[in-house]
Chains A and B, each alone.
Chain A
Amino acid sequence: MLDLIIPSMMTMMTAATPLIFAATGELVCEKSGVLNLGVEGMMLVGAVFGFIGATVTGDAYVGFLIGGFSGIMASLIFAVLTLLLVSNQVATGLALTIFGTGLSALVGADYVGETIDRIRPLYVPNAADGPNVIQLFLGHDPVVYLGVLVLLACAGFLSRSRWGMILRAVGDSDVSAHAIGYPVIRIRFAAVAFGGLMAGLGGAYLSLAYTPLWAENMSAGRGWIALALVVFASWRPIRVLFGAVLFGGITIVQLNAQAIGLGIPGAVMSMLPYLATIVVLVLISSNATRIRLNAPACLAQPFRPER
């Protein structure tokens, strides 16, 4: 029985990790009042440049960092357009996703089918002994732990730190924050860049550890699911963790059902995460008061300091 449960729980965490990264980044970004719908594009950019970085340097961790950096670069395009040129955030985010999808497919074309030395787990038990419980705690790769740590750090930052408070103030009332003298635009730039970094890292995790290869559009909607997770979590980081693990669990159900062969076609089973996202959105959003209480009041509102 353990032979089945432990690997499933392991995969649940690895499936959750890209979502943890991307959703945490987007959460911080949205808390500052900026809605970046380009998560999917930034993840793809992170995935492809992370993979190329790993191929060129031969080190998956260097690739991981390059993936994060490329995510920042992509997010800065969005930041310049929406924050300096006051463009519509929804449209610009969509443009970023379209751009990221195209760019990643273009630069990744020569790397399809390449293999890399992937990011490895910390601890692997002897194959003869089979899975054991220690594996559950120590058997992941370092990035999984990093994701949870960053998420917890963000939770602490937003709720307890001075700058976290300022960031939330900017997201709840940009005009007042500006009047008090906080640099609204600069804070939002930082938040968007952080979102880009995290989406890039989440994407890089996909191509360097989750499925260590590059394929066009390999994020398969995870960026959008991450956006939904932020709503699901009602903008609370800890709930992002639950949401991401829940989605990891759904992935496992889907994979196992396919392996056992319940007679449900693979394509139908693959719909599960997307269906679950819709169901979750409906359940959470139907409580309008809860959304209104927790959503940043200035989310997606354009802001230009007149003086």
Chain B
Amino acid sequence: MLRLEPRASHSVLAAWLSPLVALVMTVITGTVIFIAMGKDPAATLYIYFLQPLVSASGLSEVAVKAGPLVLIATGLSFGFRAGVWNIGAEGQYILGAIVGGGLAVFFHDSTNALLLPSMLALGIVGGMIWAAIPALLKTRFNANEILVSLMLVYIAELLLVYLVHGPWRNPQGWGFPGTRTFPDAAVLPVFFAQHRLHWGLILALATPFLAWFLVAKTRFGFRVRLFGSAPLAARHAGVRSTRMIWMTLLIGGGLAGLAGVIEASGTIGQLMPNISPGYGFTAIIVAFLGRLHPLGILLAGVVIAVTYIGGENAQIVAGLPKAVTGLFQGVILFYLLAFDLVTRYRLVFRRERGPEHA
């Protein structure tokens, strides 16, 4: 009979294999779903997982989608490591877009070269402000950060809807909800004229390396890891939980806000109601799939971005509802959590003890 024996220490090999196993299992599950929906599984799987990677425009789109995911997930990984559950990154992302993008709305005829950097900085500030609310309420009033940060997502969404329908609506927009398109000085330049890939990519690529340095090489990173894995030991070592909660939430919020303003400036070029296809929530999956490791997150961000683009392609080509993508993302996380078992336990096949031993 199959038994679980706790491992003395977490298996590193198993920890890195389980995301791969989870991906393979998700593809298998996807095949079953496609067959159930009456689609040709091979063709649909190709559209979903490979087609985004075989053309330059596909690759560009994957990078455009991976950027915000990687930025947000990197920020979230600090909190998740420390056991601070910020699940409101979606709201922090929107606030970053509002606060940073708002600058471009106010100075819509500016050509000042300082506009773009100021927007990026304000985007970070916007995300941080939104994350500071759960931090304050958690440290000061003991309010659950999961629920507070999540409620703030809905409030941020409604705030954006209000702004782009009301005071910030483009006066020349024929009533469509959305702000003026940003001036050139407020737009992150693209690399190639025919693709949407923009300079935001550089930030998204650099951040995980910076984060890796922070986690692996600094005292702060050590404290975050200690606080998450052994809170009592951390307290005796002088790590203040208030400070940890504030720091991890601010990092998460700041990077989510940065992702939001980058998306508004680089990918969209204005503010409009649906500036996010759920990046803030999907980034949670990216963070776990990347094992909360900055470089793992970089890889995981690309993988999840492929499913986004694949989902869009499948919608156009194969008439699959876009929701399949969300379903896949949930399934990946389920499998990942399930296979995580083997990082903590050893599977042992052993005969049931006979009655003579009892």
Contacts and interface: CB of A to CB of B under 8 A. Distances in A.
B50 to A, nearest CB: 21
B137 A282 contact: yes
A34 to B, nearest CB: 15
B214 interface: no
Contacts of B143: 278, 281-282, 285-286
Given A95-B330, A105-B326, A281-B147, A271 B142 contact: no
Nearest to B323: A105
Interface in A89-103: 90-92, 94-96, 98-103
A107 B85 CA distance: 30
A277 interface: yes
B146 interface: yes
Contacts of A298: none
Contact of B147 (A102, A103, A224, A268): A224
B338 interface: yes
A60 B325 CA distance: 30
A70 B320 CA distance: 23
Contacts of A288: 142
Nearest to A38: B330
A291 B338 contact: no
B151 A102 contact: no
Interface in A11-56: 37, 41
Contacts of A227: 147
Interface string B322-337: 1111111111011001
Contacts of A228: 144, 147, 151
B327 A87 contact: no
Given A87-B337, A87-B341, A221-B151, A102 B329 contact: yes
A102 B330 contact: yes
Which of under 10, 10 to 19, 20 to 34, or 35 or more describes the interface residues of A? 35 or more
Nearest to A275: B155
Interface string B192-229: 00000000000000000000000000000000000000
Interface in B336-357: 337-338, 340-341, 344-345
B327 A102 contact: yes
Contacts of A161: none
Nearest to A288: B142
A102 B325 CA distance: 7
B324 to A, nearest CB: 6
A113 B308 CA distance: 26
Interface string A260-300: 00000101101100110110011001101001000000000
A285 B142 CA distance: 6
Interface in B116-139: 133, 137
Q: Which of B6, B288, B326 has the most CB atoms of chain A within a 10 A radius of its CB?
A: B326
B167 to A, nearest CB: 10
A61 to B, nearest CB: 27
B165 A267 contact: yes
Contacts of A120: none
Q: Which of A81, A103, A267, A270 has the most CB atoms of chain B within a 10 A radius of its CB?
A: A267
Contacts of A304: 4, 6
A9 B206 CA distance: 56
A109 interface: yes
B257 to A, nearest CB: 19
Contact of B330 (A87, A90, A98, A268): A98
Given A90-B146, A265-B162, A274-B155, A98 B333 contact: yes
Contacts of A103: 323, 327, 330
B151 A91 contact: no
A106 interface: yes
B340 A87 contact: yes
B166 interface: yes
B87 A94 contact: yes
Interface in A212-241: 216, 220-221, 224, 227-228, 231
A86 interface: yes
14 contacts: A91-B333, A92-B337, A98-B281, A98-B285, A99-B333, A102-B325, A106-B323, A216-B323, A221-B151, A268-B162, A277-B151, A278-B133, A281-B147, A291-B142
Interface of A: 37, 41, 77, 81, 85-88, 90-92, 94-96, 98-106, 109, 216, 220-221, 224, 227-228, 231, 265, 267-268, 270-271, 274-275, 277-278, 281-282, 285-286, 288, 291, 304, 306
Interface of B: 4, 6, 85, 87, 133, 137, 140-144, 146-148, 150-152, 154-155, 158-159, 161-162, 165-166, 281-282, 284-285, 288, 321-331, 333-334, 337-338, 340-341, 344-345
Q: Which 10 A-B pairs have the closest CB atoms?
A: A99-B330, A102-B326, A105-B323, A102-B327, A95-B333, A267-B162, A87-B337, A106-B323, A286-B141, A109-B321
